[in-house]
Amino acid sequence: MLGKLFGYEMRATARVFLPTYLVLLAFAVLSRSSLSAYEMQPGNGRLATELMAVLVGFYVAVAAGAFVVALVVIIRRFYKNLTGDEGYLMFTLPVETWQLVTAKLLSAVMWQMATLAAVAASVAILLFRLEFLPDVLAGIRAFWEAVRYELGLTLTATVVLSLVLAFLSTIQGILLIYAAIAIGHTIRGHRILGSVGAYIGLSVAWQMVSSVVTMLTTGGMLTTGSMLLEAFWVVPLIGIFLSLAACGLLFFITVYILGRQLNLE
C-alpha cells in the first residue's frame, strides 16, 4: 500500500514540478542561444556582456523560484492532505499513519533532488562552452590531486560523508516542517501561528544540541594540529549520527501527533 500512496503522491505533484523544470531548462537554453548569437557577431562584446548580466539576473530569479515552488508544494501537500479538509478522507484509508507520512516524505525528497538536478543542468546549459571543457576538467583534476596530496584518504572519506550528510539534512529539513505543522495543529485557533512557532523552536533546539555535541566531540581535534586532519571526516560523521537521530525523533513526533493527537475540526 505504501507503493500506491507514493505513486499517487508523485503523480499529483508532477503536474506542478515538471512544468517548472521545463520552464527552467527552456530559459537556460534560450539564454545560451541568445548569448551565442551575440558573441558570434563582431563588435558585440560589450553588448554580450551586458546581456549576460541581465540574463543571469533573470536566471537567478527563475532558479530561486524553482526552489520556492518545491518548498511551497511540500508544505501545501502535507498541510492540505493530512491536517486540512482532506485529512478526513486520508485517515479513512486502510493504511497506517506512518505510511501516509512516509509516502509524502519520499515524494518530497525525490522532488527536492530533482529540483537540484534541474537547477544544476540549467546552470551547465547557461554557462557551458564546449571549447572550455578540457580546461575545466584539467582544473578539477589538478585541484583534486592537490587536495588529495595534502589530506590523503581523508579527502575521499570527507566527500562521501559530506554527501551522505547533505542527503540526510534534506530529509531532516522536510521532517522538521512536518513535525512543526503537526505540533501547530494541536493548538486550536492558532494553528498556523503555532506551526511557525514550533518550527522556530525546533530549529533553535536542534542548533543548540548539534553545536554542543560537535564542540564536545571535536574540540580537542580542532585545537591539536596532529588531529586536525581527522576532524575533516569526523565532523560530517558526527553530523550524520545527529541527523539520523533528529530524523527518527521528528518522524516519531509527526506520526504520533497525526495518529493520536490531531484535531481536524
Cβ neighbours of 256 (radius 10 Å): 15
Tell me the whole-structure pTM to 2 decimals: 0.81
With a CB cutoff of 8 Å and minimum separation 6, the contacts of 21 are: 66, 114, 115, 118
Tell me, yes or no, whether 164 and 84 share the same domain.
Answer: no
Same-domain status, 155 and 82: no
| 171, 229: one domain | yes
174 CB neighbour count, 10 Å cutoff:
23
Q: What pLDDT does residue 181 have?
A: 92
Tell me which residue of 34, 75, 33 sits closest to 185, measured CA to CA.
75
Last residue of a domain, one of 128, 162, 185: 128
Using the predicted structure, report yes or no on whether residue 144 has a pLDDT greater than 70: no
pLDDT tens digit sequence for 149-179: 555 555 667 778 888 989 999 999 999 999 9
Q: Are 213 and 122 in the same domain?
A: no
Nearest to 154 by CA among 217, 219, 229: 229
pLDDT at 226: 47
Task: Give residue 127's pLDDT.
Answer: 72
- Same domain for 54 and 77? yes
Q: Which residues contact 263 (CB under 8 A, 6 or more apart)?
A: 185, 186, 188
71, with CB counted inside 10 A (0-12, 13-18, 19+), is middle
Query: Is the per-residue pLDDT at 231 higher than 70?
Result: no
Whether residues 59 and 140 fall in one domain: no
In the chain, how many domains are there? 2
Of 198, 2, 206, nearest to 101 by C-alpha is: 2
- Specify whether 72 is located in the same domain as 52: yes
**pLDDT tens, residue by residue, 192-226:** 888 999 999 999 999 898 888 877 776 655 555 44
Residues 89 and 179 in one domain: no
**Residues 6 or more apart in contact with residue 190 via CB below 8 angstroms:** 184
Give the domain extent around 117.
1-128
Q: Are 31 and 126 in contact (CB under 8 A)?
A: yes
Kindly state the DSSP code that residue 152 receives in the 8-state scheme.
T
Vertex 198: Cα angle to 192 and 201 (nearest 5): 145
Within 10 angstroms of residue 87's Cβ, the number of other Cβ atoms is 18
Q: Are residues 156 and 192 in the same domain?
A: yes
Q: How far is CA 35 from CA 64, 67, 111, 131, in A?
A: 22, 25, 30, 15
Same-domain check for residues 110 and 143: no
- Does residue 139 share a domain with residue 104? no
Among 92, 111, 128, give the residue marking a domain's end: 128
Do 140 and 118 belong together in one domain? no
Last residue of a domain, which of 106, 128, 150?
Answer: 128
